[in-house]
Amino acid sequence: VFNKQLSLASNAAQQKIDSGLWTHMHISTNVFTKAIFTVTGKDMAVFIDQWVRTGGHAKFSLSFVFNRKRNTVELEIRQDVSHQKGIRKYVGPLLVNIQELDGTFKHTLQIEGTVAKADITCHSKSRRNKKKKIPLCTGEEVDMDLSAMDDSPVLWIRLDPDITLMRAVQIEQPDYQWQYQLRHERDVTAQLEAIEALQNHATPATRLALTDTIENENCYYKVRLRAAHCLTK
C-alpha cells in the first residue's frame, strides 16, 4: 500500500501540477489506514490503536515444567501489568520456539489475559545416549554433549524469537539450557540473552561455556566481548 502511494506521488511529481491538487496524497495515519482497508479489506484500527496511538511495551515472564509421564511442556506466560511507566498489556498471538532433541518446533499461543497457560506435546523423547546430532532451526545438524540434561527432551525455549513485538522478556530455565543456547543457537540475540542469564549461574560449566564462546572465532565479536565481560563478574 505504501509503495503504491509513493508510486502515485512519484508520477505526479514528474508533471507540472498545481500544489493544491496534491492534498489527497498527503500521508497521515488516518489516510494510510484507510488506504490499507481499501486495498486489502483489512481493518487496521485495533493495530493502530495498540502500536501507534498508545505508548509503552509488553513485559513477559515465561516459566515451564516438563511432565515426564505425558511428555509435555507445561508452559506459563505472565504479563507484568503493574502501573510501572512504559509497561502495557498485550493481546494477540505470541510465538514460542522450543528447541528439542529432534529439532526446533514453533508454537503460536493466543494471549488474552495477564496469564496464559499451555500444555505443549514434545516431538522428541529423552535419550540416554550422551552425544547426538541435533538439527537446528537453520537446517544444520550439530554434535551436542547431552550429559548435562535431565529427562526432558527440551534443550532451550525462546519467546518471540523474531522480535515481532515491542516487548521485554524474562525466561526461567535451568543453567544447562542457557549453556546449550549460548553454544548452539545461531541467532546473535539469543546468544546475548543466554550470556545475560548466565550471570546468575556462576558454575564451572558456565565458565566453560563462556570460555568456549570467547575462543570461538566463528562467533560474532560482540557476543565474544559480552562473554568476556560476563566472565569477569
Per-residue pLDDT tens over the stretch 192-208: 999 999 999 999 999 99
d(CA 194, CA 27): 42
| Least confident stretch, 46-50, 57-61, 70-74 | 46-50
Question: What pTM was estimated for this model as a whole?
Answer: 0.82
pLDDT at 130 over 90: no
The pLDDT value given to residue 86: 84
The pLDDT value given to residue 4: 73
- The grid cell for 3 is 509503495
Helical ranges in the chain per DSSP H? 2-13, 29-40, 45-51, 175-184, 188-198, 204-215, 221-232
Angle between helices 175-184 and 188-198 (to 10 degrees): 150
The pLDDT value given to residue 227: 98
| Dihedral angle sign, alpha carbons of residues 155, 138, 168, 220 | positive
Q: Indicate the average pLDDT of the chain.
A: 89
The pLDDT value given to residue 21: 63
The pLDDT value given to residue 56: 86
Higher pLDDT, 12 or 201: 201
